[in-house]
Structure 1
Amino acid sequence: MHGRSDSSLLRLINSRKIVDVVLDVAPEGISRADVARATGLSKPTVSTLVGELEGAGLVRMADAGSPSGGIGRPAALYELVPDSSLVVAADIGATKIIVGVADLLGRPVAEEMLPTPPDASAAADAVVETAQRLLEGIAGGSSRLRAACVGVPGVYRSADDSVEMALNLPGFEGFAIRAHLTDRLGVPTQVDNDVNLAAVGEAGAGADRGDFAAVSIGTGIGTGLIIGGELYRGGTGAAGELGSLILPGLHGSAGGDPTAAGHRSALVGRATLEDVASAPAIRRIFGGAVGNGRCSALAAGAEVADIFAAAAAGDEAAGYTLAQAASAMAYAVTHLCLINDPALIVFGGGVGTNPVFVDAVAGELDGLLARPPELAASELGRRATFLGAVSLAVSSLRDSLVEQTLDGAGQRGAIR
């Protein structure tokens, strides 16, 4: 959009309105007159742009609709050609990667999950190779790929294409992942924090959610903030790094080596939320509780789901561990609410979606806030980030298609 005049920018905005209306009513189809009514634009403007979209193979004439007023010839309806363009979306997690291909409506048409390689470069290459394999399985898939979006752990700095604080996946230092992916995939590629994309995914899954926070609790902890219907990244892209919140009264890593790889306390010298409420921390604290003589029917190396189930059944060591994690998370949620006041907090990740944990956090919040937020477990599960990446890739592609359509129409005549 850079370098356009004011009139050209207005035309671009109007064009986006038309594209959105045509896309969002698919597959039912819509007449040019209805597009004009929905956008408030003139019929000649709509006719010009719909014709350009049809010429580009992005929309096509559908079955005829009812005539206006019930008499006369039926109105021609236009619908999106959803598979005219494809996007690649991916979520690079600490333990798993999800890669998929979606159409212009954001519908996944192919998807695969694989283990995360040991470093960032290998993980990026795994995304590319998996995407290429999926595209090869779709007729003409590679030739229809137009955009991509990938979620990464840590803080992504778009200005210099860098990732910081990705403690659970090494190798990001000095690795320009967006440039690497763009070069290998051959299409414009966006990169964003994984929990930011999870928030976008959750926003798309729930109607009228308003301001909310998506808090992912698994191998690490992070937050995506939706404020005023928009993703909030902050001044440097680090908004929502809730895992780094320092917990008062605790030092080191709350039961582990504070210099160990993956401990945020190694960065700040104090115990953080991630050192108490993440999945590795919960297992570590439980093991310490058993080792210190608290009774449990579970072995010290039990998994988080088993620990929470045992806590619900009255297990002493498991109950102690759950209380530590829930209390720390309630402390973090309280501060999040005092600053951002979200009406809803959606918990994701292997820890966050456990109902025993959600109920425990809700109990800890009683008395801490005058009006505590609604707490809910994500219904999207581990696919939230992937679906958010699909959404951003499709949105970016829509912008690109609008510009291409406008430029093509501008060569034929003015658009009002």
Structure 2
Amino acid sequence: MSRTETAARVPTLATVLDVIRERVTVSRVELAEATGLTAATITHAIRELIDVGFVHEVGTAASSGGTPRRLLELEPTACYTVGIQLDRFTATGVVVDLAGHIVARSSMAGAQEGEPAEVLRFVADHVNDLLATAAVPKSKVLGVGLATYGPQDRTAGVLLTAQPTASWLEYPLTETLSEALGVPVLIENDATAAAIGEEGLGGARSSFATVYMAGGIGAGVVLGGQPYRGATSNGVELGHISIDAFGPACSCGNRGCVENIAGPTAVVLKANTIPGLADRLRLRGDTVADFERIARAATSGDPDALSILEESAAVLGTATVSLVNLFDVARVVIAGAAFATAGPLYRDAAQAAVDRAAFMRFAHPVVVELSDHVSDAAAIGGAVAVLRRSFEARTARSGAPAGR
């Protein structure tokens, strides 16, 4: 099978699963109607899903004539996947069943200035604790999706950056974590993972963009149900688009990057320049916690905190217009731990910006929404990416035909 055929086959299985997940109980005919796939393609996809125990038949629908339609349902406990979102400042873990339910979730410390071996041991212990909490045996775990920052080499499972310390550059992240856990591990860009999580759990669909902010700023784009990868899966770096050629220097080599002007670190730095604000809000030098304190103060009406966040949101709104102009999407989803409290403010600013300045606004409206899984989207996407990778591996082995 060619790579093109495999790529076409993977979303077929994922699409069928998504429809069954949404409708709970559904017939093959209804699946064909809902997906636009041929009856033959649906039949083959269902056979594959039944063979691996992901789907089972649960009886027949009432018939008004002709052969009664056999009904299908997911087997939620057939398998589980784990997603870990990890950056310098934040980390979240989830265990997700086949039906898309989060059966266990917890937050943990980010990498901070830790060395990779130490951080990965901590992550492995955390995953084991999550699985124990959910009473999920390792034998049912398809793998772990590690959603983290870039640039990265997804094939090798390494970061191509010396952040947060020099030891992280090309450290074998997936290999080390896989050995510690005894299950497969893949690496995914956190912003792309957030988009995959939205698409995979029935949120935004088909073609859309995700603006992601946790420790930093990024974006993910899904086109026709597939994540946009670029040449090396390191594209759509919204945080490193320059909006001020004479702005502050960035570690990436550019100047005036969105992240350096509007990201959580920039917001906290700005707050510390306003006399008395740091003491009033009890800022303590923890970027994520301090950003959250500023967000809470802003939503409570503190004028200084609100002014800082409004400036940040205006910059991110301008960047969102560029994102929409580049990819001509009609939907943008706001996701990431930094939006847990401040999300509505940033959503409204981005909506106002695209309403005012998106190039295609006369052709179609652009809707900006806050994710239903705002803090967990990247971790969920890591888990969904594992499921999709398992489809890819199975398809490659089976050589099954693709097509509508």
Whether these two folds match at TM > 0.5 is yes
What residue is the counterpart of 1:262 in the other structure? Answer: none
- After superposition, the Cα gap between the structure-2 partners of 1:300 and 1:286, relative to the gap in structure 1 and judged at 3 Å, is farther
Paired with 2:109 and 2:215, the residues of 1 have a C-alpha distance of: 14
Paired with 1:297 and 1:232, the residues of 2 have a C-alpha distance of: 44
Paired with 1:238 and 1:223, the residues of 2 have a C-alpha distance of: 10
Normalised by the length of structure 1, the TM-score is 0.74
Q: How many residues align?
A: 384
Contact 1:22 1:35 (8 Å CA) reproduced: no
Given the alignment of the two structures, is residue 324 of structure 1 paired with residue 311 of structure 2, yes or no? yes
What residue is the counterpart of 2:272 in the other structure? Answer: 287
Unpaired runs of at least 5, structure 1: 254-264, 410-416
* Alignment partner of 1:101 out of 95, 103, 112: 95
Which moves more between the two structures, 380-389 or 206-215? 206-215
* Alignment partner of 2:370 out of 348, 371, 377: 377
Contact 1:22 1:79 (8 Å CA) reproduced: no
Measured after TM superposition, the shift of residue 179 of structure 1 is 2.3
What residue is the counterpart of 2:20 in the other structure? Answer: 25
CA-atom RMSD, angstroms? 4.2
- After superposition, the Cα gap between the structure-2 partners of 1:284 and 1:209, relative to the gap in structure 1 and judged at 3 Å, is same
* Alignment partner of 2:131 out of 132, 135, 140: 135
What residue is the counterpart of 2:182 in the other structure? Answer: 186
Superposition pairs of residues 330-349 of structure 1, within 5 angstroms: 330-349=317-336
Unpaired runs of at least 5, structure 2: 285-289
Given the alignment of the two structures, is residue 244 of structure 1 paired with residue 243 of structure 2, yes or no? no
Contact 1:65 1:77 (8 Å CA) reproduced: yes
- After superposition, the Cα gap between the structure-2 partners of 1:244 and 1:83, relative to the gap in structure 1 and judged at 3 Å, is same
Paired with 2:327 and 2:9, the residues of 1 have a C-alpha distance of: 33
- After superposition, the Cα gap between the structure-2 partners of 1:46 and 1:335, relative to the gap in structure 1 and judged at 3 Å, is closer
What residue is the counterpart of 2:82 in the other structure? Answer: 88
**SS in structure 1 of the partner of residue 198 of structure 2:** helix
**SS in structure 2 of the partner of residue 266 of structure 1:** coil
- After superposition, the Cα gap between the structure-2 partners of 1:57 and 1:170, relative to the gap in structure 1 and judged at 3 Å, is same
Which moves more between the two structures, 341-350 or 385-394? 341-350
- Residue identity matched to 2:86: I
Measured after TM superposition, the shift of residue 323 of structure 1 is 4.7
Write the deviation string for residues 221-274 of structure 1: whole angstroms up to 9, x where unpaired: 111112233211211222121222223254435xxxxxxxxxxx1332633221
**SS in structure 2 of the partner of residue 381 of structure 1:** coil
What residue is the counterpart of 1:214 in the other structure? Answer: 210
Paired with 1:327 and 1:29, the residues of 2 have a C-alpha distance of: 44
* Alignment partner of 1:123 out of 104, 116, 119: 119
What residue is the counterpart of 1:256 in the other structure? Answer: none
Normalised by the length of structure 2, the TM-score is 0.75
Given the alignment of the two structures, is residue 65 of structure 1 paired with residue 60 of structure 2, yes or no? yes
Paired with 2:300 and 2:173, the residues of 1 have a C-alpha distance of: 46
Write the deviation string for residues 80-138 of structure 1: whole angstroms up to 9, x where unpaired: 43323222222113333222332333333333322224233333333322223333456
Q: Which structure's CA Rg is the greater one? A: 1
- Residue identity matched to 1:25: I
**SS in structure 1 of the partner of residue 168 of structure 2:** coil
Q: Which has the higher contact order (CA 8 A, sep 6+)?
A: 2
- Residue identity matched to 1:185: L
- After superposition, the Cα gap between the structure-2 partners of 1:384 and 1:170, relative to the gap in structure 1 and judged at 3 Å, is farther
> Runs of 4 or more off by more than 6 Å in structure 1?
12-16, 31-38
